[in-house]
Amino acid sequence: MKKEIIINRSQEEIRIAILEDSKLINLFVERSESEKIVGNIYKGRVEAILPGISGAFVNIGIGKNAYLNVSDIISEKKESNIEKMISRRKEIIVQVEKEPISTKGAKVTMDISLPGRYLVYMPFQERVGVSKHIESRQERNRLKVIIEEIKPKKGGIIIRTEAEDATKEDLKREMRYLTRLWDSVCSRIDKVKSPSLLHRDLGLVFQTIRDYFSEDVEIILVDSKEEHKELTNFVKIVSPELADRVNLYTSKTPIFKAYNIEEALKKLRSNKVNLPSGGYIIIQEAESLCAIDVNTGKFVGNQSQEETVTITNLEAAKEIAMQLRLRNIGGIIVIDFIDMRKAKNRQRVLSALENSVKGDKAKIRIFPITRLGLIEMSRERKRESLSSLLSETCPVCSGTGLIVSRESLLIQISNDLQQLKLGHHHGKTRLKLNNSVVNYFKERLSKLEKIVGDKIEIQASKDIGIEDYQIIVE
């Protein structure tokens, strides 16, 4: 498949799209006003310990205190009682695992990890692990042997997927870089007061190149001369053999428009996603849970109902994996697939979902289908979802997605008019309404006039909210 990385930089934001055969498969957005802090390392100070939730709050200098769970504390002796492992006002070194989301502060860990292109260095661990995506046992063993030879005396290593077929020299060079980086962090610890930033992780563009730029990417296109220069220099360091694939986009047509990415972004704002055969899925996001419903829609199939349903569910499994990645949806996810009678078909759908999420770099757990036919899964949440980034709560519905019905509004107004009549208010009555409901009320004007026993003038106003109204008696 033809793979491309498209980078759009403006004064306000950076957007990165990864395309596969011209189809959007990954999207990353970073805005100048909301700096990302995942991966940053801080010298922090413990402000509060809460044994009831087995956690502590740490001041890292970013406003709201960060949350540190007992399981993320590095201590010589592991205890179930957090108060025996850490004390208030203690200065500690932490790394941000999750961005602040909504009302929640950042989540931090004392178990530091420094990622490179091929390796992840963990100063406080001892184990050597290999990415599960490297399937060849021979290659896994080769890499383990190399790492055992070059790893430092202290620290653990995770061998990333990109390390497959990497030379010993490549791995040795990166190992040297990561250990020097950690030494640099350590050298600053005693020189700064808490709270202080000790290490800032790579920016979004460099992170994406580090994690996604490989032999199967044919081209990187960037529309900023400055970014192109910096990116070329970075690639010459991490992957010099691929440096000629970094190109500057110079056309007058905006880069995201030229590659039809803007159109794809518009679709991501909708909670409805159509499937190839005519079915569709509905995605409903809440703060910590996402519910996804699968429907056959217009698809009736040519065989049995069971086969029609199974085809729709298989299409949905693949699309759901894609949408979770594109929308950056994390937390608990519940999928309501269409009921299937045969156990083998339910297993096919579950397997299809498991296979479809394999390319996702976020940690994912999928559980067996429940008695109600639901699939429960969890997806690692490090940053806010695309929906949270691109939208804000509707001032009319306050995030419910619903507004007062026209019938309910009619009843409210009828009750108010009845109270006016009981209060012996007399005079010309004017009713001001939002433009969108005026015709509905004009059709029912006789009912309202019967209540007051006189004529009522209905006026349209764009300045009145769709749920609001004004009754004026002159």
10 Å Cβ neighbour count for 237? 11
Convert 312-338 to b/e letters by CB count within 10 Å (16 or more is b): bbbbbbbbbbbbbbbbbbbbebbbbbb
pLDDT mean over 283-307: 83
Distances, alpha carbon 257 to alpha carbons 157, 263, 306, 462, 464, in Å: 41, 8, 41, 33, 36
pLDDT at 300 > cutoff 70: no
pLDDT at 103 > cutoff 70: yes
Question: Which residues does residue 115 pair with via DSSP β-bridges, in sequence order?
Answer: 120
pLDDT band at 204 (very low <50, low <70, confident <90, very high): confident
Query: For residues 195 and 58, what is the distance between their CA atoms, to the nearest angstrom?
Result: 9
pLDDT mean over 101-107: 82
Q: How many CA atoms lie within 13 A of 287 on its CB side?
A: 8
DSSP state of 454: S
Q: List, as one string, the DSSP characters of 249-268.
A: ---SS-HHHHTTHHHHHHHH
Structure token pair of residue 276: 């190839």
DSSP state of 101: B
What residues contact residue 290 under an 8 Å CB cut-off, 6+ apart? 283, 284, 329, 331, 332, 333, 334
Strand order in the sheet with 217-222: 23-31, 13-20, 3-9, 217-222, 246-248
pLDDT (0 to 100) of residue 209: 87
Task: Name residue 87's amino acid.
Answer: S
**Whole-model pTM above 0.95?**
no
Structure token pair of residue 177: 């870089």
Structure token pair of residue 314: 């298989």
pLDDT tens, position by position, 3-46: 999 999 988 889 999 999 999 999 998 887 677 888 999 999 99
pLDDT (0 to 100) of residue 301: 63
Distances, alpha carbon 37 to alpha carbons 55, 97, 113, in Å: 21, 9, 14
pLDDT tens, position by position, 44-77: 999 999 888 888 999 999 888 999 998 898 877 7
Phi, psi of 397 (to 5 degrees): -95, -10
pLDDT at 124 > cutoff 80: yes
Q: How many CA atoms lie within 13 A of 389 on its CB side?
A: 25
Distance between start and end Cα atoms, the chain: 72
Q: How many CA atoms lie within 13 A of 244 on its CB side?
A: 1
Instruction: Say if CB 95 and CB 40 are below 8 A apart.
Output: yes
Q: Which of 91, 97, 90, 44 has the alpha carbon at shortest distance from 69?
A: 97
Phi, psi of 311 (to 5 degrees): -60, -45
Q: Which residue has tokens 């805005």?
A: 31
Crossing angle, helix 305-327 and helix 343-356, to 10 degrees?
Answer: 20
pLDDT tens, position by position, 213-251: 888 899 999 999 999 999 999 888 878 888 999 999 999
pLDDT tens, position by position, 366-403: 998 887 879 999 998 877 788 877 777 777 777 777 88
CA 303 to chain centre: 38
Instruction: Compute the chain's Rg from CA coordinates.
Output: 29
Q: Which of 350, 365, 347 has the alpha carbon at shortest distance from 316?
A: 350
Instruction: Say if CB 319 and CB 306 are below 8 A apart.
Output: no
pLDDT (0 to 100) of residue 425: 67
Q: Which of 326, 309, 325 has the alpha carbon at shortest distance from 275?
A: 309
pLDDT tens, position by position, 128-167: 999 988 889 999 999 999 999 999 989 999 999 888 888 9
10 Å Cβ neighbour count for 154? 11
